[in-house]
Chain A
Amino acid sequence: MIGEAGPTWSGPQLAGNWDVIWYYLQLHVQYTVVAVALGALVALPLGYCGYRWRRTYPPLLTLANLIYAIPSITMFVLLFPFLGITNDKPIVVAMALYTLVILVRCLVEGLRAVPQATIAAATAMGYGSLRRFVTVELPLATPNLIAGLRLATVSTVSLISVGGLIGRGALGRLFSDGFTRDIPVEVRSAIAAIVALALVADLVLLLLGRALTPWARARVTG
């Protein structure tokens, strides 16, 4: 079931298979980073649009919701003609598309929470709308943005494994392999690895968010 590249689980036990888990874990990290980064890259202009022109927000949100509603296998099939059938690109791109529903919403909500007075002050200081967006509004939306990235990352880490259904998808491959060869411990290890990775990634982003928003802590303690 496992694709051409990559090591295969041997035997019905965990011992001796750590390198297999490690291999797919690395792959999993790689896919997650690329998918979330790609999603964020697309969400940024969309979020800007939804924030700047209020009327575009509800349709944008509906669109993101509909994309999310497309089952993963269909998404892969839709992407195959563009990205090829023999690699994992369709899975990564599909995950990036699925993150939009979280990222666009969090970005717009975050931007809307920026106090009007702050925006007015920046305008009065002579900031143009784009410069104000990049240097004032976006940084102030950081807490929501980080919250969105955390959610998107955690769900991407666990969602990538649906690629296992078509014999791909990093740690998800261990699901399908464990399923067809009836090795529960392989499936269990992959679940544990995915949950652990998600929690670590979440923690990393949490700390990053703290580092980026020193003022938030100052308000709590002071």
Chain B
Amino acid sequence: MSDVLDGFGWLTTAAHWWGRSGILRSLFEHLWYSAFATGLAVLIGLPIGLAIGHTGHGRFVAAAAANGLRAVPTVGIVTLLFLAQPRALYPVLVALTVLAIPSIVLATAAGIETVDADVKDAARGIGLSRMQVLRDVEIPNALPLIFAGVRSAANQVLATATIAGFGFGLGGLGRFIYAGYSGRRFDEVYGATMLVVGLVLLVEITLATVQRLVVSPGVRESSTRRPVPLDATVPSTLPTAIQLGGEST
């Protein structure tokens, strides 16, 4: 256990923070790889999820494809692409994006699908077009689940981005873990791990805050039959245009 605490020693040594392969630079690399991959996955996955959820078509195919993508080993993809083009950065970005897409597609589709059929019906009934229903009713109602998908994708990507530094020499916080492992400097391994876990927590809190600001309070209450830890206590400050789905009980 003292090894783990030595991680703090490594972390608080100023010399480790600066330079070309210092903590600051690695932290930045780790963040931008993850943000890029998650962002790209949202750009790709969100429209697909919306289309599936809205039309109800392609659900089975999407679930199968998402499962297939999940089965693809990230390390394998990076290794393969890296062999084709050594020292290139894109293998890691591609692999991380592939990792993030399934959660986002499935969560989005599920979110749209589980919007109360009566609510959609009412929206159609008052004359909204299909696109308006999607934009003003289905998406706001599905936001909690969409956010859940994005959060779990971001979590996974941040944790997995460490492989960039494992043997491939592409930086990120993984470089310390790999170097520490190879050189039997376990304080470095634990110190870098604390940074990764801290980063995951920080991003989680940030996304939870964004979610609280963006999701309509009416939707939040109805969709949280389960108590959501951080979100339920603080009232939202941004009322959105339509607050549907307040269940009678």
Contact = CB atoms under 8 A, between A and B. Distances in A.
A66 B193 CA distance: 11
Interface residues of B, number: 42
Interface SS of chain B: helix
B163 interface: yes
A39 interface: no
Which of A71, A73, A109, A176 has the most C-beta atoms of chain B within 10 angstroms of its own C-beta?
Answer: A71
Contacts of B201: 66, 69
Given A54-B227, A199-B67, A202-B67, A162 B75 contact: yes
A191 interface: yes
A73 B189 contact: yes
Interface in B77-106: 77, 79-80, 82-84
A71 B174 contact: yes
A184 B167 contact: no
A109 B178 contact: no
A97 interface: no
B77 A191 contact: yes
A143 interface: no
B79 A66 contact: no
Interface string B174-200: 100110010000100110110011001
B137 interface: no
Contact of B167 (A161, A179, A190, A202): A179
Which of B75, B82, B158, B177 has the most C-beta atoms of chain A within 10 angstroms of its own C-beta?
Answer: B75
B26 interface: no
Contact of A61 (B79, B84, B229): B229
B154 to A, nearest CB: 11
Given A154-B70, A199-B67, A191 B76 contact: yes
Contact of A194 (B76, B82, B156, B181): B76
B218 to A, nearest CB: 22
A195 interface: yes
A72 B84 CA distance: 25
B70 A77 contact: no
A179 B166 contact: no
A158 B163 contact: no
A20 B217 CA distance: 57
A184 B67 CA distance: 24
Interface SS of chain A: helix
A165 B75 contact: yes
Contact of A77 (B71, B189, B226): B189
A195 B162 contact: no
Contacts of A175: 73, 75-76, 79
Interface in A145-191: 150-151, 154-155, 157-159, 161-162, 164-166, 172, 175-176, 178-179, 182, 184, 187-188, 190-191
Contacts of B181: 73, 77, 166
Interface in B193-249: 193, 196-197, 200-201, 204, 225-227, 229
Given A74-B192, A158-B73, A190-B76, 5 more contacts: A78-B4, A154-B70, A159-B73, A191-B72, A194-B73
18 contacts: A54-B227, A58-B227, A65-B204, A66-B197, A68-B155, A73-B162, A73-B181, A150-B67, A154-B71, A164-B75, A165-B166, A176-B79, A178-B79, A179-B83, A179-B167, A190-B73, A195-B73, A199-B67
Pick the 10 closest A-B CB pairs, nearest first: A198-B71, A58-B229, A69-B200, A191-B76, A74-B193, A158-B73, A71-B162, A161-B73, A195-B71, A187-B80
Interface of A: 54, 57-58, 61-62, 65-66, 68-74, 77-78, 109, 112, 150-151, 154-155, 157-159, 161-162, 164-166, 172, 175-176, 178-179, 182, 184, 187-188, 190-191, 194-195, 198-199, 202
